[in-house]
Amino acid sequence: MAVLFVLNRYNASDWSDMMRDRAPDLDVRLWPDETGNPEDIKYVVAWNPPPGELAKYPNLKVIFSIGAGVDHLMKDPDLPAVPVVRVVDPDLTKRMTEYVVMNVLLHHRRFRLYDAQQTANAWTEHSQPAAGEVRVGIMGFGTLGRDSGVILRDLGFQVAGWSNSRKQVDGIESFAGESELDGFLGRTDILVSLLPHTPDTDRMLNSALFAKLPQDGALEGPFLINAGRGKVQSDADILTALNDGTLKGASLDVFEEEPLAAGSPLWSHPGVVLTPHVAAESSPIAINDYILDQLRGYELGEALSNVVNAKRGY
Ligand code: NDP
Ligand code: OXD
């Protein structure tokens, strides 16, 4: 029985070395060079494997994603029909909450404007609405969205969440499904997306959706924060909306194609705060431990947790 790390990323060997240190009894292998006999592989730990790769292991029982998102796996038409476990980890959740709260405050407190003024040695005050006057709407009100929402609520913002199913969280309005999307958008000054990328959410952050955000809120125009997945947005529509004033600003951690092309106008747009998909960079130690716990439990016959619903794709 072997565990194969199939990690299409810069520091793949750090992850497999760390697992070897933590579990010397396990046969840990690193794809592609150490794969060995495909029949030995019972578990795969994956990040963005080439489509078709995971179908090569006939005795595979579980796929562990090293991320919370699993679109990197679901896009594979030949993905084996075994459970896919995603990451749900307090460390990752808190890092995302930091990113979301920081960016909500950055737009609410006009830090972009004051940055520009500092560069110009300009002492100019601007009016500042109270948090209680600002409506934050979180699309994708799951593990990450809910944690961010609770902290923003406690800071005094008017928070709502939009998800597939209705949620009950004190002091937070819940909108559910397609039929309640317009109502959710119509009460949102700062739109935060923490949606997974699935066929249903593909490019849904587009011109038609931005046009439904109110222009007459306390911030005098809407802001977008996307830290979920880039393929949920249209980069071109965001740019158009920023240029024609439909959006007043945007914080973008994710993009349709990553890395973002060096020539993209988003890099230098004054309304954009841009980071390279680092909103919640996971701790390899925490995630290796999480995977190891689940793997050991599975070996003892226990149920896996945080198994992806293959039909929904997240
Ligand atoms: P969850 O599965 O816990 O939450 C997803 C939420 O989206 C759920 O509330 C779900 O609704 C909702 N949702 C999904 N599809 C739809 C839809 N079509 N319409 C309405 N609501 C929908 O995931 P997490 O919160 O753990 O993670 C969210 C995403 O964040 C990940 O998929 C990943 O892509 C991204 N991410 C980005 C990181 C970064 O560094 N930028 C780091 C980590 C994650 P319901 O609750 O009803 O099922
Ligand atoms: C994730 C990510 O899905 O880092 O965990 O994007």
Those residues whose C-beta lies under 8 Å from the C-beta of residue 102, and which sit 6 or more positions away, are: none
- Note whether 261 and 124 are same-domain residues: yes
- Note whether 52 and 114 are same-domain residues: no
- Note whether 83 and 170 are same-domain residues: no
pLDDT digits (tens, 9 = 90+) for 212-246: 999 999 999 999 999 999 999 999 999 999 999 99
The residue whose CA is least distant from atom 4 of ligand 2 is 67
- Note whether 102 and 56 are same-domain residues: no
Those residues whose C-beta lies under 8 Å from the C-beta of residue 248, and which sit 6 or more positions away, are: 107, 219, 220, 221, 222, 223, 242, 271
pLDDT digits (tens, 9 = 90+) for 6-43: 999 889 999 999 999 999 999 999 999 999 999 999 99
- Note whether 109 and 179 are same-domain residues: yes
Nearest Cα to Cα of residue 248 among 267, 212, 272, 275: 272
The residue whose CA is least distant from atom 36 of ligand 1 is 228
Is the Cβ atom of 143 under 6 angstroms away from ligand 1? yes
- Note whether 105 and 241 are same-domain residues: yes
pLDDT digits (tens, 9 = 90+) for 69-90: 999 999 999 999 999 999 999 9
- Note whether 95 and 226 are same-domain residues: yes
Pocket (CB within 6 angstroms of ligand 2): 67-69, 87, 280, 282
Query: Which of the residues 153, 277, 296, 312 is marked catalytic?
Result: 277
Q: Give domain status of residue 50, yes or no.
A: yes
Torsion of CA 175, 180, 184, 187, to 10 degrees: -120
Q: Which runs of consecutive H residues, i.e. helices, occur in 109-224?
A: 111-119, 143-154, 181-186, 207-210
Predicted TM-score of the model (pTM): 0.97
Query: What backbone torsions phi and psi does residue 64 show, to the nearest 5 degrees?
Result: -105, 120
Query: Which of the residues 108, 229, 269, 312 is marked catalytic?
Result: 229
- 187 catalytic residue (yes or no): no
* Nearest ligand 1 atom to alpha carbon 164: 47
- Note whether 18 and 151 are same-domain residues: no
How far does Cα 96 stand from its chain's mean position? Answer: 8
Q: Which runs of consecutive H residues, i.e. helices, occur in 109-229?
A: 111-119, 143-154, 181-186, 207-210
Q: Give domain status of residue 307, yes or no.
A: no
Domain count, the chain: 2
- Note whether 232 and 289 are same-domain residues: no
- Note whether 170 and 76 are same-domain residues: no
- 229 catalytic residue (yes or no): yes
Query: What backbone torsions phi and psi does residue 144 show, to the nearest 5 degrees?
Result: -80, -45
Residue 26, burial from CB neighbour count under 10 angstroms (0-12, 13-18, 19+): middle
Contact (Cβ atoms closer than 8 angstroms) between residue 7 and residue 18: no
Domain residues for 51? 2-89+283-299
- Note whether 249 and 293 are same-domain residues: no
Q: Give domain status of residue 64, yes or no.
A: yes
pLDDT digits (tens, 9 = 90+) for 271-295: 999 999 999 988 899 999 999 999 9
Banded model confidence at residue 149, pLDDT cuts 50, 70, 90: very high
- How far apart are alpha carbons 138 and 241 in whole angstroms? 19
Joined tokens for residue 10? 């810069």
Q: Give domain status of residue 226, yes or no.
A: yes
- Note whether 161 and 295 are same-domain residues: no
The CATH code of the domain that includes 8 is 3.40.50.720
- When pLDDT is averaged across residues 177-190 and rounded to a whole number, the result is 98
